[in-house]
Each structure stands twice: as structure tokens, then as C-alpha cells.
Structure 1
């Protein structure tokens, strides 16, 4: 089974290194910086085999050009029709790709950006800036309905499926989650654990799909408790879960 390691980048990014245990082959997800990746490869005596891109934003792609100078023949997988032009192998909904000996399926997850994709199987999900622990990405290009649909697709993965997003936003997300659902006992327990992790300068990731369904307000749009906590300015007749999501996202943007 492949091993996944976090590589710190910028202030709060994680570049995930997917390593084959029986050889030196390594894939990286969303390398916004090259130097941390090159340092990891040198220290761990590993060989870069390929690159996975979830979407075109610079903090997920700016390190790719220099990595290719050092490893010129490796594939760069990423979304079809992406504004980022460095992708050599394009992927769409339902496509499959083998990474470090394991098969992943592509889920198109527009919302944060229109080109966003996630790499998923029953064991792991590399969710980029779509699903965070306790939160979700801002809507820079897509609609609230698109993002809710994307999150709903991810929430159907098995409870034990590990969630590898690309930012350490957990504590800030949990602060909002407590405002939305202050009586959630699982949220309180998880927050205590997350604070202890950050006090030790350890990642709060990966989370799991089961945990996110229990504590993440953006996956809990059918909760009556959440509906009761919406600010007065957002209270209005609501018919669909995506409309509840839209109100939560608007609240979070101003939180």
C-alpha cells in the first residue's frame, strides 16, 4: 500500500507525496513550490515519477516547471480544458489513473474553480481546494449549486476514506463550524484534537469522509440545527440543500 507524506509549502499549503513502498517512485499532488519537493526527494532518496494537478491556481502549479527541468520525462496529470497549460495527460469525469500502484477515479468538482478535479478511491481522496477539514473552498469561478454537487459526490465516499486537502485551514474552519452548530459534541471533540495537533506543529490532515460528515457544516445542509443558526439576514424560505449551502458559504465569506 502506498504511503502518503505531507510536504510543507508557502504558509499553509501541503504538497502530498505518494510513495511506492517497494521502490523509490514518488508522485506529488499540486506542487506550488519546487524546492520543498526537491528537498524531500533528496532527503528520502526518492525519484519523482509524476505530478497530479487538481486545478490551475498558482499555489498548486507554480513549482511544476522547475520540477520538469529536473525530471523532464514525467507525466503531469490534470483537468481537461484547464487554464494551466503544463498538463500532459488530461483527465475528465470517470477517468482512471494508476498512481503508486493504486487506481484512482476522477471526480469533476467545479465550484472553487471550473476545472477542479479530485483523485479518489475507497481509501484516499485528494480533494485540492474543494473539501477541507471542517470547510470547503471559496467560490471563485463556479456556482453554489455546482460546489454543493461536488461536495455531495465526495460525501458519498466510504466513511474511512482519508481526505487529503491542500491547506491547513482546519482550526479556522472549525471556529466557523462552532458558530454554525455549537451543540455538536463530535465537533467539540475533534476541535480539541486538532488544537493539540497544531500546538505540536503537526498536520490535522488527513481527515476522513466519516469525520467530515459529522463535523463539517458544508456537508450537513440537511441539519435543522444548522438552519436555526443562520443569521437573520440569510433567513428566507429554503427549498433545496444547495440553497442552504449557498447561505452557509456566504456566511463563511463574511465570518
Structure 2
């Protein structure tokens, strides 16, 4: 009997161990979604991802707002430079050395602000930059002889422009930069595209189209003349003059025709100077 009891006792011990192993194995095969600790961990991870995304989104929006604020501030400073330059030049008109010094300081300020403004624009998404902002920076960069960066800003302005004036002005800017850089043929292509602007922007009356073309042609004249292409410059001036003769009478027509005459006088003056030098 003692042997049988011992055997039964050992059997019970072994059975308990087997049951324990089976329970352990069965618990490992339980679906993950039935495990409360796993569910809690997944929910915590999901919440963490969500809060991180929202936080990053908020930070990005705040960064964009800060950059836009800095950009507006710089553009305001850039827009004030020409007036300040005029006032200081007038103030020291009797002192050429002072005028030269002040001019140099203002040019440095313009170059610094323009470069910083361009960097800010490059940090912003295109839909947070206006065409006129890019154009203003391009003009400032061109004044400080940063031609490559100016061209990039003119190009960005043109791509963003939804109005005719900014679109055609940006094209003229690109054309002028190309002429300055010695790429006259590429510049002519840009000027011609500026003349074709009304194939894109419809609905403008005859007077606006003609006066816009005249301004483009006068810009083209200046670029050709400045690069030494005298025959081409005269051709563009003649084209502008021919259009001006078809304008209806009015103050702006008189102003435009006066600008054309000034350009004509410039050519005459250069011709006289060239003849005198040759003699």
C-alpha cells in the first residue's frame, strides 16, 4: 500500500507539472489582441505617435510664421533704403567724400538684407511666398550685384505670379540679368517672352497692352545698348516709338513718348562722344 500511495503521489506531481506546462503553452498561443498589457502598450505607442505628429505640425507652423515675420521686417527695411539713400545724398550733396562713404554703407546694408531675405524665402514653402516678395528681393540682390541669386528670385517670382504686372516684370528682370552675365541671346528670348505675356493674361485693353510692350522694349533697348549691341538697341527703340505713335492722346502717352525721346538723345550723345573720341 505504501508503494501504491507513493506512486499516486508521484503521478499527481507529474500531472500538476504537465498541467502547468500546458497552461503556459496555451497562454503563449492566446491572440495578441486578447492580451491587456499588449493592448495598453499599443494604445500608448499610438498616442505617442499622434502627439508627436501634432507637436511637430505645430512647431512647423510656428517656424513658418516666424520666418514670414522676419521676411516682412527685412522687406520693409529694404524698401526704406532708396528713400534714406536719397535723403543722405541730398544732405551731404556738398561733400563728395561723405556721399561716397554713405553710399558704400547703404550698399553693404542692402546686400546683407537682400541675402538674408533670399535665405528666408528659400526656407519657406512656395505657397507661403508671394510673387511680389520674391521680386522685391530679386531687385535688391541685383542692385548689390548678386546676379545669380537675383536671377533665381526673379524666376521664382515669375513662377508664382498670378498677375500680369509681376509676371512681365520678373521676365524683364531675368532678361536683364542674362544680358549682364554675357548671355545676350538667352536674354533676348526672355524679353520676347515678356512681349508675349498677353497670350497668357487675357482681357487687357489695347492701351495697357501697348504701354506694357513699350516699357519692355525700352528695357530691351537698355540691355542691348549696355552690352554694346548698338544696331539691336536702335531697332528696339524704333519699335517702341512706332507703338507710341498709335497711342491715344493723354498724359501717360506724353510721358512714354518723353522716355523714348530721352533714350533717343542718349544714343545721339553716345554717337557724338564716340565721334569726338575717334577724332
Normalised by the size of structure 1, how large is the TM-score?
A: 0.29
Normalised by the size of structure 2, how large is the TM-score?
A: 0.27
The answer to which structure has the higher helix fraction is: 2
The answer to which structure has the higher strand fraction is: 1
Q: Which has the larger radius of gyration?
A: 2
Q: Between the two structures, name the one with larger relative contact order (CA 8 Å, sep ≥ 6).
A: 1
